[in-house]
Structure 1
Amino acid sequence: MKRTVIPILLSVVTALASCSKMLDVPSHSAVATNTLSAADVEAFLTGIYNRVQNAPGAESYISFDIVGGNLINSGATSDGGLNSFISGVLRPENGQMSAAWNGYYASLYQINNLLESVASLPASNRATEIAAIAHFFRGYLYYNLVTRWGGVPVLEKNTNQKLPRNSEAEVWAFIEKELQLAMDGAPAYAAGQYYRVSSVAAKALMARVKLAQGKKAEAATLAEEVIGSGLFALDAFEKIFRAQANNEVIFAFKNLTIESSINVSTLFYTYAHTVKGSYVYRPTQETMDMFTAGDTRTAISVETFQNLRVINKYPSGQSGTDPLVIVRLAEMYLISAEARGLQGLARLNELRAFRGLGPVSPASEAAYLDAVLLERRKELLGEGFRWYDLVRHNRTGDIGLQPREKKYPLPMNELALNKQLEQNDLY
């Protein structure tokens, strides 16, 4: 069974080209998940890590940098075409829209199968842990879906029905439910084991989810609990983004070359560079200018090579892959700082001091928020945060985005396949 059942499940999911096509496939793809042994379920869980990591594609990890003003197409002669570039990406027919949508839902299909498989096993601590890890990933997938498209179909079980979109509020509530299950049942964090889902990773992701909804007090409390847990500490960028053992990462995909097609670095480096790449995107000059010589993040964040601007956080080029950091301690500092307003200034300055910068002392809440968002932009560059930071603070106009570009367009092929779906306004 170990040699036949799991590959069948994985190959079926791989073949699913879209959410709507997926829903046409009979539940379980004719494989009886209640026949899986505990060992099979463990193998299935490994497949979940792999699928969630790979299915949405490399650009999904930096999508909010692409449309958030941090990046522009490498062939642009100036940054003046930034708005046209972003509008070109945010189109229903753009492949990035369908790749991410299909990838997230294909991963969800596999997670739902795993949850059904675990439910058929005898009760045990490990069965509870595996289910909780699956709930973490389901919450993570739906966070990515709701922040891009707003309300989307919520699938707690696989179905062959064409489903309409749930409301945005319903999706957020579902994410919170999933992450609470993960917080309650996932394994405890073991030192250095940040490539495995843990209960504290679920708590950290919940802090992000609370902040995204404007639940500031809850977000700050959760972030402070993660900071105060003693499990993590701020660490050097050269460790975090060079696959070295570090104390800062809370959860990441290891993203080994043997298992992964996610090679973000090829999007950033030229073929002439030592590591070689396709040079699809380059940082804008404004992005380059955020960093100063005293900032210890500078060299690992951006680089100039043969007069060309480069994002330097993913250094493997065509020779390998880099870890994909999903959540780390610096974000918790920034969540706590933002959620508490000026009362969180100490956390902001603590992070800045660790990164080699002096303190700031904003005179108003508005000036303080500006300082926090700038620090988020510098700290989290190339990690997929910028656009949604603008969206949740109603600042997309700061980079000249159109009103409709506060959400992604639903992919054109999904609308054609599922008539129950409605496009986001103005697309």
Structure 2
Amino acid sequence: MMNKSINNRFKTSALKLLLPCMVLLAGLGGCEKMLDVDSSRVVGEKNMWNTLEDSRAAIMGTYGLVRAALVDHNAHWLYGDVRAGEFTAPTRQDLRAIISHDLTASYPSIEAISNWRRWYAVINSANVFLERIHEVRENDLRYTENNMTVDIAQIRFLRAFAYFYMVRIWGDVPLIISSYDGRFEDKPRENQAKVLAWAEEEMLAAAADLPYKYSDGDEQQQGDYYNEAESRWNGALARKLSAYAVLAHLAAWQGNYPDAAIYSKFVIDNYPRGENDYISTGHLTDANGFFYDKRYNQLFGFAFVWAHVDGSFTGHIEELTLAEPVVNKRIPDIYLPKDSIIAIFNEAGDERFSLDTLGSPVSERYFTNYNGRYPIFSKIKCIMGGVNDPTFRFFSSALVFTRLEDVTLLRAEALAVLGERQGAIEMLNAIRTRRGLDPYNEDVNGDLLHAIFRERQRELMGEGHRWYDLVRYNRIRPSHPVIAPLIAENGHIWPIAQTLLSQNKELTQNEYWK
């Protein structure tokens, strides 16, 4: 039974969750079509773009739309973790279809995440912002030139991120860089190479104007950002290192490893050293640790801040992975079988998961109920804002797109591909030694590139990276019996939702899924 204060807090949070949905629905209902997307404007234009408060509402609204696009139907984890096929779905047929790459199966969840409408809501919101924000500068003297420059940089980055994210899922997508009112015109898909080249240019331009930190004396962001202290913005907004971290991912996805090495080096070299650089294993997996709240070392992420009465039943990895004895759910939606756990975590002393000499888990940091029928992947477990009441399932973990450990291993990958072996080993060992493992030894750990991807699998499990890692690895070394042929036939990208094809006659289905 929840106590009265928690119950009241839950009711308040539930109402808060409903209100943005009501506003968004109202804002999305007035126009006929833009691909399949209506206008993402959430405030009447007559009363918008006049004050400093309007600019803040608009930029925060765009961040909110990005978060919604990522977490709706748990999309980020279905794309990135479930499709990789390493988790097992004991009961949900839709998840089994994704695992088996049956992406045209008739399930509401698959149809929903085959539809890019939420991402084009992000893009239209960004386009409107860029077209109208100068009006705030003209109408409100409190809105400084520097404030506008930083705001524009964030919006350009978020729009470019949206395109990068969509390209990884659907390949070619329409490139729209201006807003539309009334009846939207249909747009064909642009070649993904063109879209990614544009996104890279936008991110680089944004990075030039983004600060390292907000409200902290950075010369590129002067004063208190929107009159709030540093603690308000730490980990909440895209900053210079966020842009370069995503640029490293974009370059690696293109197979452009020279640039991936450059971008990742910039992040590593400019990340302030101290207690919050590389994360300890305990902090990474603790219920009140890295994934709880917003944090500076979440290089680019989207928080559900409990202190702001934020959280939800859905839109979190916990909804898919947690079950008894962690929460009151009999069977998890997905779990990792014991033989897979042993195969992945196959080195003694691994602080994330390892077995003692008697074959029992040394800790429950990554997995709870290891010897039960369903080992529970519990690395991320932010329940009830840190209360961790197993009788209820209300989550507040952050979705973290990238962090320093991810970028370090991405740099190791880039250097290994480029033949810079010693540098790659140094980057790999930066993570291995912090997780209780011995330094890399080829005789023990095998091929270097394979060892790097194996370390990414262990370190980043449950964070939405695995499918994209498998695609990159099999582009370099085609070896997986299912994924390598899919890549060869462009079956690694998703089909476009039928509703989109019906609404926009300029669109064509991805060839593999016709």
- Could you say whether these structures have the same fold, taking a TM-score greater than 0.5 normalized by the shorter chain as the test? yes
The residue number in structure 2 matching 1:147 is 168
| Distance in 2 (alpha carbons) for counterparts of 1:330 and 1:220 | 14
The residue number in structure 2 matching 1:169 is 193
How many Å apart are 1:189 and its aligned residue? 2.2
| Aligned ranges 1:89-238 → 2 under 5 Å | 89=103, 91=105, 95-99=109-113, 101-122=116-137, 124-159=145-180, 160-189=184-213, 193-231=234-272, 233-238=277-282
How many Å apart are 1:325 and its aligned residue? 1.0
The residue number in structure 1 matching 2:361 is none
Q: Is the 8 A contact 1:83 1:400 kept in 2?
A: no
Amino acid at match of 2:404: L
State the SS of the aligned residue for 1:406: coil
How many Å apart are 1:194 and its aligned residue? 1.7
Q: Is the 8 A contact 1:69 1:284 kept in 2?
A: no
The residue number in structure 2 matching 1:296 is 351
How many Å apart are 1:205 and its aligned residue? 1.0
How many Å apart are 1:287 and its aligned residue? 4.1
The residue number in structure 1 matching 2:390 is none
| Distance in 1 (alpha carbons) for counterparts of 2:33 and 2:261 | 37
The residue number in structure 1 matching 2:289 is 244
Question: Given the two structures, how large is their TM-score scaled by the length of structure 2?
Answer: 0.72
Cα distance change of structure 1 residues 15 and 238 upon mapping to structure 2, 3 Å threshold: farther
| Distance in 2 (alpha carbons) for counterparts of 1:104 and 1:58 | 14
Cα distance change of structure 1 residues 82 and 408 upon mapping to structure 2, 3 Å threshold: same
Larger Cα-atom Rg: 2
Q: Is the 8 A contact 1:338 1:369 kept in 2?
A: yes
| Distance in 2 (alpha carbons) for counterparts of 1:332 and 1:313 | 20
How many Å apart are 1:18 and its aligned residue? 8.2
How many Å apart are 1:393 and its aligned residue? 3.1
State the SS of the aligned residue for 1:265: helix
State the SS of the aligned residue for 1:326: strand
Q: Is the 8 A contact 1:206 1:219 kept in 2?
A: yes
Cα distance change of structure 1 residues 84 and 65 upon mapping to structure 2, 3 Å threshold: closer
| Distance in 2 (alpha carbons) for counterparts of 1:66 and 1:98 | 15
Q: CA RMSD in A?
A: 3.3
Amino acid at match of 2:375: R
The residue number in structure 2 matching 1:422 is 508
Q: Which residue of 67, 86, 91 maps to 1:70?
A: 86
Question: Given the two structures, how large is their TM-score scaled by the length of structure 1?
Answer: 0.86
The residue number in structure 2 matching 1:3 is none
How many Å apart are 1:88 and its aligned residue? 3.0
The residue number in structure 2 matching 1:356 is 436
State the SS of the aligned residue for 2:442: coil
Amino acid at match of 1:200: L
Q: Cα deviation per residue 1:234-255 (whole Å; 9 max; x = unaligned)? A: 1124424544366642122111
Q: Cα deviation per residue 1:137-163 (whole Å; 9 max; x = unaligned)? A: 112211210001111011111231110
How many Å apart are 1:73 and its aligned residue? 1.1
The residue number in structure 2 matching 1:313 is 379
Cα distance change of structure 1 residues 355 and 218 upon mapping to structure 2, 3 Å threshold: same
The residue number in structure 1 matching 2:456 is 376
How many Å apart are 1:397 and its aligned residue? 5.9
Cα distance change of structure 1 residues 84 and 330 upon mapping to structure 2, 3 Å threshold: closer
Amino acid at match of 1:71: F
Q: Pick 1 or 2: higher relative contact order, CA cutoff 8 A, min separation 6.
A: 1
Extract unaligned runs of 5+ from structure 2: 1-19, 138-143, 215-229, 354-363, 384-392
| Distance in 2 (alpha carbons) for counterparts of 1:316 and 1:9 | 27
Q: Which residue of 309, 322, 334 maps to 1:281?
A: 334
Q: Is the 8 A contact 2:40 2:124 kept in 1?
A: no
How many Å apart are 1:38 and its aligned residue? 2.0
Matched, 1:322 2:397: yes
Instruction: Determine what percentage of the aligned residue pairs are the same residue.
Output: 23
Residue-pair matches, total? 417
Instruction: Tell which deviates more after alignment, 240-249 or 204-213.
Output: 240-249
How many Å apart are 1:107 and its aligned residue? 2.1
Amino acid at match of 2:66: V
| Distance in 2 (alpha carbons) for counterparts of 1:87 and 1:367 | 29
